[in-house]
Chains A and B, each alone.
Chain A
């Protein structure tokens, strides 16, 4: 029996942050690969594997409630350019854990803070490929 991680912890620049439940997604930054065919004629073919290194970018997406503290934190994150480090980790009740670290990451999407009852700040961070 396996248990899914649905309650991860996010640590940015050594600070644990509060996120909207079920809003965390990460991309290891392993990118896109393609497999193409080459032909030697007479029906003989072989495949060529190609890694599109342009897509080797790590990413983390999550949302935070639009509190004053979170709005200021998001602003500081944006101002810190690509000098942010994010650690995403999770542990299941049966003790299995997952940890990913993304260095040199930047807050890339527009910082919008909705001032509404259910407003959330969407954050998309991009940086180096994730390390374990």
Chain B
């Protein structure tokens, strides 16, 4: 289980550090601790609700009962899994994406969870500067790497 991952931004943004302004293109993300247990639990719950719904739909359609991207001859890469997580959440009718984003934002803004270029805590002001696409990718990457780590391990072990 990873304790830290690097996330590359497609659209860099400016941030203040040591009295100057620098351009950020990397975020260093830390795994949630028990302090963020409620946000972690919520995000996990959101995913499993959406995942369950996608399974129901695919069984109704008499297709495979496994997630499309998760069941492949080759196990999905971390990037593909992150994309699958975001897609599953967005396409769910039972999960409100606004709530997912809000919960994820709260987790991300917790002290020490996300450091811009590994040095400055991500703040609300910096979060607001982030590109929306990057924000979606970040959601998938974070949930995939830390919150659904065991789920991903199961898929890749098959």
Contact = CB atoms under 8 A, between A and B. Distances in A.
A84 B16 CA distance: 8
State the main secondary structure of chain A at its contact with B: strand
Interface string A99-127: 00101110000000000000000000001
B124 A85 contact: no
Interface size class of A (residues with CB under 8 A): 10 to 19
Interface stretch (A7-15, A32-40, A42-50, A60-68): A7-15
B125 A14 contact: yes
A127 B20 CA distance: 11
A13 B124 CA distance: 12
A56 interface: no
A15 B123 contact: yes
Interface string B15-36: 1111111000000000000000
B125 A103 contact: no
Nearest to A103: B20
Interface string A1-34: 0000000000101111000000000000000000
6 closest Cβ contacts across the A-B interface? A85-B16, A83-B19, A104-B19, A14-B123, A11-B125, A16-B125
Interface of B: 15-21, 120-121, 123-126
10 contacts: A14-B121, A14-B123, A14-B125, A14-B126, A15-B123, A15-B124, A83-B18, A85-B20, A103-B20, A105-B19
